[in-house]
């Protein structure tokens, strides 16, 4: 059944070495090694993230990955200390304060990876259904 199948998220990157440094050095992801297609693979809980080398890769215009964390402010602070720059928004339906936006039952903060993809940290605020 697909509901219990392991999932791999493929993220095209233009510069694999630059992306590797970002995901390993700044985000602290542990590499699993390279796949036969050249993708660098990382385990995130029960999902595999594969950085797929594509010279013509363009950044996604939407959130490509969102990491659920238990303490968003702590994670944000640790990533900022490693040089990650968080986005700020002042839109009618999306406003951040100190990089954080409260969206109903969760709060979130966005940043871009080395390739310009939008990544997110999010934290559930209440009990999960």
- Is 63 part of any domain? yes
CATH number at residue 57: 3.10.180.10
- Is 129 part of any domain? no
Number of domains in the chain: 1
Are the C-beta atoms of residues 111 and 84 closer than 8 Å to each other?
yes
Q: What are the pLDDT digits (tens) for 70-121?
A: 999 999 999 999 999 999 999 998 999 999 999 889 999 999 999 999 999 9
Q: What is the mean pLDDT of residues 50-71?
A: 93
Containing structural domain, residue 90:
2-124
Integer Cα distance of 74 and 57 in angstroms: 32
Helices (H), the chain: 16-21, 72-81
Q: Which residue has the tokens 């999902």?
A: 47
Give residue 127's pLDDT: 66
């Amino acid at each position: 059944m697909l509901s219990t199948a392991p999932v791999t998220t493929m993220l095209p990157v233009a510069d694999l070495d630059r992306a590797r440094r970002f995901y390993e050095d700044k985000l602290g992801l542990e590499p699993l090694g390279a796949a036969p297609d050249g993708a660098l693979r990382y385990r995130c809980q029960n999902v595999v993230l594969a950085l797929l080398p594509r010279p013509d890769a363009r950044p996604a215009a939407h959130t490509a990955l969102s990491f659920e964390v238990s303490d968003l402010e702590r994670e944000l602070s640790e990533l900022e200390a490693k040089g990650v720059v968080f986005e700020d928004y002042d839109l009618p339906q999306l406003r951040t304060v100190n990089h954080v936006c409260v969206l109903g039952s969760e709060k979130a903060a966005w940043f871009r990876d080395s390739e310009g993809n939008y990544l997110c940290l999010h934290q559930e605020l209440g009990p999960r259904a």
